[in-house]
Each structure stands twice: as structure tokens, then as C-alpha cells.
Amino acid sequence: MNEPTFFPVIDGLRESASHTPDAIAILGNAPVTYKELHASACCIAARVQAEGIAPGARLAIWLRKGNHAVSAIWGALEAGLAYVPLDPGQPGERAMRILQEAQPEVLVITPDLLSHLPGALPDSVKLVLLSGAGTCDNNPQLPVPADWISDLPPTKHLPFDATPDAIAAVLFTSGSTGTPKGVQMSCRNLATFIGWAIEELGLGQDDVFANHASFHFDLSTFDLFAAAHVGASVWLVPTPDQSNIIAIADGLKKHAVTTIYAVPSILTMLTRAGQLSPEMLPSLRRVLFAGEVFPIQSLRKLITQVSDKCDLYNFYGPTETNVCTYYKVRQEDVYRDTSVPIGQPLPGQTALVIDPKTDQPIANGIKGELVIEGSLVTPGYLNPPNDRIRKAHASGRHPTGDVVSREDDVLVYHGRTDRIVKIQGNRVELGEIEAALLHHKQVRQSVVVPLQSPRGAELVAFVACDTDENKPGALDLLNELREYLPRYMLPKHVKIMPALPRTSNGKTDFVHLKRIAEDSLIHPDLSPREGVPL
């Protein structure tokens, strides 16, 4: 398969609105047709252009997940603006930091979220204040009706034809310095991934996507843009229900979902509840997962539960490359002892395994840092943290910080370069300890957090178990670890939890776990069932 020919992402919506105007674009309590969705996008584009805002500017969106947020995304693209989605669940202080970093010309927001911002916005920011309520003395409000979907006034705008290098989105991720980083995604980046996915997965107009990811998470770009390009429907999983497996399962059945793209933790919970079987969800054709490692015990259950005709894919890629490698899961993968590979690069992309000391490719079977080259590498950050990263992205190259090896022509993931620590002078890969914890049949997930104490580096392990019945104690797990690991690799504390905390993206919340780990070292008198110091 060759790299897909470039197409502006907005063309997907335009063509579906033209060819199948009455097809349902967004499912839910208030379904939206492609004709209505495109009209709402044109409405916001016309208002933006009337204010003299030129293509290339940024439109920030701080809305709860729903039809209005989707309209705002498409409206930005229709006007040639980059959309900047903000997490509606984040504190106002963080949202303000992102707005200060992004410097948008337009902010689409509701009055209640506007009230959460700790201070005034720059005078240059124009507001689209939904519902017509609320005031802001310093910021002019664009006259957009409270309901974009119905009762739209006649509007005219000049359609913008995006170039490959035009910025389509700016997605903010956590930064190691504590300041969120804005990753710019070009129209080429999105078109390369979406075009490949449509062909590889065989997507069509009769498909129904379940959009579980929030719009500030890069997984959502597949749900919104691939669906529009083929004229399929999308069910937006409501934010309050994103961890409610019963509600998700009901929605999957109600809307006869064919395609699910989510993080492994959500798929694990659906699998444990038996909700992805052919009996419960006969419409299911494909399950795609990304964002974190899928524990092999949980993946085995998924493989055996879904229909033989249901395709399973492991998608890999940081936000800086979107999806850049993939692996199609096979039935024989149930016999694996370790997680499935991250596979091979997408067409037209190059995946290099580099020795971090020499910056040169290394032999097959040897671990090194994964470096991606090609059209999927984004233009970089809004404000690059250093010249090295700026120059790397300018040349279409992204060092991922992930440790991989090449085995039998596929890439195998081994963890993060920053998840290697020294304990008593010994090099320790935290992933090895996590894998050893997963040997216990009741443990479904494990995370090891390194901390610095007056005694040196110490490890705190967190585990989530399948059921309370026969749940192991911390001492049980430590005793089992002794069968697999040398003493210096044993965690200082083990904490057993019903479930590991998650970020709004559904990934493991390492920051929260680190806080708990720090408390464990400060207050080591944990009960044996919850934690044990060595």
C-alpha cells in the first residue's frame, strides 16, 4: 500500500453533505445530518470571516463533548483555522495556561466554563459564547445563535482550500516541566493517517463509530474525520459515561456500533463484562486500541470473546506522530506471554531503532530508542522547548523516547527511556517488574513508580485486581515477585487498588500515582492488605 494522496480533511464533510445530505453524521438524543453539520460549520466560518480573522489563526474550543463541539471543530476547518480543543474537565487555571500558550483569536465557550477562568482573557480574543448568556466586558462576542444546529440564519463564507502544510489542530499534552505542550497537526499529518486507515480497515458509509475519546485526545481525530470522509455515523460517548461500562454497552448496542477505538483499560472493562461478544454486539467489525500497553492477560480475553470476523488492531504513536505503526492481532496471539508488538510503520513512514549514545541504527533484536521519520511527524510544538526538538521536527523526524527492538520484522515495545532507573547501581527497567506482577492470575494491571528518598531510588508498585474474591495481599505479591526478580528489583511498597486512576484521556494517571507513592514513603505504616514496606 502506498502513502495516501493528500486531501483536505474538510473535504470529507463537504462531500458527505453533498452526496448524502440526509445521512446521520452524529447519533444520540439529538441526531445531526451531514447537511445540518456542514451548515453549522459554515455558520461559524462565516462569522469568523466577517470579523476579519484570516486562515492560519487558531480557534480554541472549551465545550463539553457534544454536537456543538463537533460543529466548532468543523467550523474552524471550514474557515482555514486550527482548532485547539481544551479538556472540559480540567481546572480553570490549566485552561488559562493553555489559552495563554495557544494565543487563539477565537474562543468558543459556555458561560459556566468562562466563569472558571481565573482572570481576564487578552482583549484580542473574540468569544463565541453559547446559549447567549453571560457577559465579558473586554472581549467582543461573535453573533452566533445559541443553537447552531436548528434555526440557522442564512450565511455566506468563502470556502478555504487547505494546503498540506496548513495547521489543522493544536492538541495539548502534559509537559515534563509542568507546562502543557501544544502539538501542531498539519492537514498532511491528518490526511496521511485517515487515508491509510480508511483503506486498511475497509471503512464505509454503513459503519458506525463509537467516539470514546475526548476531543483534546488524538484518538478523536480518527472518529471524527474518518467517519466524515466515508459518510459514516458517529456516536459520541457522553463524558459522564466514559467510565460507565453499563452505559457504554447500552449505547454500543442501541446504535449498532461497528468500530470501537479506545484505550485498553476501557476495552478491558467491556470485555470483563462480556459486552463485546457476538451475542451482545453482533454489529462489531473492528476493535482498535492505542494509548498504552494492553496487558496480555486482558487481550487474550478480548481475542477469545469477539467474533472471528472482528478485526483487532494495536495502533501506536505519540501525539507528535499520531498513529505511525500498527499491528493486526492474530488468533495465535492468545498464546503470547508478553504484549503484542506495535508492528510496522504506516506506508511512506520510516521507523528507526537508534542507539541513544551514537544516534545510529542498531541491529535487529537489540533495544534502542524508536525514531519516526516521514509525513506523519507533526510540524512540532507551538513553542519548542529546545533547538534540538525544533530542528528534528523541521526535518520530519521525531525521537519518541520509547524503547523498542525489531524482532522478525516487527517492532516490539519495551517501555519508556525515562522508565529506566538505577537501583543500588543496577539498571532496572520498570516494565520488567510490571510484567512480573502480571504473572499473578488475579492481577489485571500493574504500574511501578520510582521515587527518590534519603536512602536512594525506591520503587512503589500499584496493582489492580480482577475481583475482591481471592484477591492477593501485598505480601503474597512480593513473595511471588521473588521467584522472578533479584532482590534489588523488588518494590519498597506494594499497594493494591480496585482500579488504577485514569486521566481524562483514559490513560493511567502517573502523576496521581506518584503522589500516592510519595505518601507511602512518608507514611510507611500501611496495612498488609493495602501495602507493605520491605
3-state secondary structure string, 107-144?
EEECHHHHCCCCCCCCCCCEEEECCCCCCCCCCCECCC
Q: For residue 412, is pLDDT > 90?
A: yes
Strands, E, within 281-419: which ranges? 286-289, 311-316, 325-328, 344-345, 350-355, 360-361, 368-373, 380-381, 397-407, 410-416
Question: Which CATH number does the domain housing residue 53 bear?
Answer: 3.40.50.980
How far apart, in whole angstroms, are the C-alpha atoms of residue 158 and residue 46? Answer: 8
Instruction: Give Cα 8 to chain centroid, integer Å.
Output: 22
In tens, the pLDDT along 190-220 reads 999 999 999 999 999 999 999 999 999 999 9
Out of 161, 184, 208, a domain closes at 161
* pLDDT tens profile 484-499: 887 878 998 999 998 8
> Is residue 60 situated within a structural domain?
yes
> Domain for residue 312, yes or no?
no
Sequence-distant (6+) residues with CB within 8 A of 244 are: none
Does pLDDT of 148 surpass 50?
Answer: no
Contacts of 390 (CB under 8 A, 6+ apart): 380, 384
- The answer to whether position 77 is within a domain reads yes
Hey, what's the cell of 162? 487547505
Residue 409 lies in a domain: no
pLDDT digits (tens, 9 = 90+) for 352-371: 999 988 989 999 999 999 99
- Distance from first CA to last CA of the chain, Å, rounded? 54
What is the pLDDT at residue 330?
A: 96
Say if residue 527's pLDDT is above 50: no
**Domain membership flag for residue 314:** no
Q: Is 386 part of a structural domain of the chain? A: no
Dihedral in degrees, nearest 10, Cα atoms 506, 507, 510, 515: 10
Q: What is the pLDDT of residue 522?
A: 58
Q: How many domains does the chain have?
A: 2
Which of 424-427's residues contact partners 24+ apart within 8 Å by CB, and which partners? 424/456, 424/488, 426/486, 426/488, 426/489
Cα separation, 354 vs 402, whole angstroms: 11
End of a domain among 106, 135, 161? 161
pLDDT at 126 over 70: yes
Confidence of residue 406 (pLDDT cuts 50, 70, 90): very high
Per-residue pLDDT band for 155 (boundaries 50, 70, 90) equals: low
**Residue after which a domain boundary falls, among 133, 161, 189:** 161
Query: What CA–CA distances, in Å, run from 235 to 23, 147, 208, 224, 325?
Result: 13, 20, 7, 10, 26
Greatest distance between any 2 Cα atoms in the chain: 72
Residue 138 lies inside a defined structural domain of this protein: yes
Residue 459, pLDDT > 50, answer yes
**Residue 37 has which C-alpha cell?**
453539520
Across the chain, what does the average pLDDT equal?
87
Sign of CA dihedral 379, 383, 388, 391: positive
Instruction: Report which secondary-structure segment, H or E, holds 186.
Output: strand 181-186
- Condensed to tens digits (0 to 9), the pLDDT of residues 283-339 reads 999 999 998 889 898 999 999 999 999 999 999 999 999 999 999 999 999 999 888
Structural domain contains residue 169? no
CATH number of the domain at 441, please. Answer: 3.30.300.30
Domain coverage including residue 153: 31-161
